[in-house]
């Protein structure tokens, strides 16, 4: 008789655990459906034309965007040129018979500082763009931020075992 009760308790416990898991799963799925909005399809491509088409900028907004874009490009051009010069110096130093690690580290820090300035300029550029957008365009612009700010593909796929290996080209 005791064995029969133990079996019933085990079966009943299993059913209760199964039902709890089922309810939690169902609740999580319904919450995701209720709170999650439909994903906005992001456009393919980049650049001026894509932004204008995707945000559906009118003529006045397009003129303002062109002016904002020109200011941004002028602002970062010298920063990019400086980064290129520093990278060339790094390459020269690395190729020397006795590379100076202090100099290499300094050059690396300079590149990081310049990249920081470019990122700050990009932030200002995007904020200026947001100011000329209507509320419905701001929602679309929000969906573009990840693509605009996540331009580095260096670490893409690192968690899937796709690390750079000896003898394999990236």
Residue 26 resides in a domain: no
Q: Mind listing the pLDDT tens digit of every residue in the chain (170 residues)?
A: 688 888 888 888 888 998 888 878 877 776 655 545 444 454 545 678 888 888 889 999 999 999 999 999 999 999 999 999 999 999 999 999 999 999 999 999 999 999 999 999 999 999 999 999 999 988 888 888 777 766 554 444 444 555 544 444 44
Q: How many domains does the chain have?
A: 1
Which domain range does residue 96 map to? 48-148
Residue 114 resides in a domain: yes
Q: What is the pLDDT of residue 39?
A: 46
Residue 14 resides in a domain: no
Tokens of 19: 């039902």
Distance CA 125, CA 127 (A): 6
Residue 69 resides in a domain: yes
Residue 121 resides in a domain: yes
Residue 113 resides in a domain: yes
Is residue 56 within 8 A of residue 70, CB to CB? The reply is no
Q: What is the pTM of this model?
A: 0.58
Burial label, 122 (beta-carbon count in 10 A; 0-12, 13-18, 19+): middle
Q: What is the pLDDT of residue 45?
A: 52
Residue 28 resides in a domain: no
Residue 36 resides in a domain: no
């Amino acid at each position: 008789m005791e064995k029969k009760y133990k079996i019933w308790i085990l079966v009943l416990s299993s059913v209760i655990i199964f039902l709890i898991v089922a309810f939690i799963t169902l609740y999580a799925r319904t919450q995701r459906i209720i709170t999650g909005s439909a994903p906005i399809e992001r456009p393919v491509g980049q650049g001026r034309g894509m932004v204008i088409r995707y945000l559906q900028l009118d003529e006045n907004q397009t003129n303002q965007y062109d002016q904002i874009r020109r200011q941004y490009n002028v602002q970062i051009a010298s920063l990019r040129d400086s980064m290129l010069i520093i990278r060339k110096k790094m390459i020269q130093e690395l190729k020397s018979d006795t590379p100076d690690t202090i100099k290499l580290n300094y050059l690396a820090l300079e590149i990081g500082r310049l990249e920081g300035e470019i990122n700050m300029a990009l932030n200002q550029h995007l904020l200026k763009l947001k100011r000329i957008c209507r509320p419905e365009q701001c929602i679309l612009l929000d969906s573009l931020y990840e693509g605009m700010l996540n331009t580095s593909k260096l670490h893409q796929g690192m968690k899937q075992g796709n690390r750079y290996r000896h003898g394999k080209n990236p």
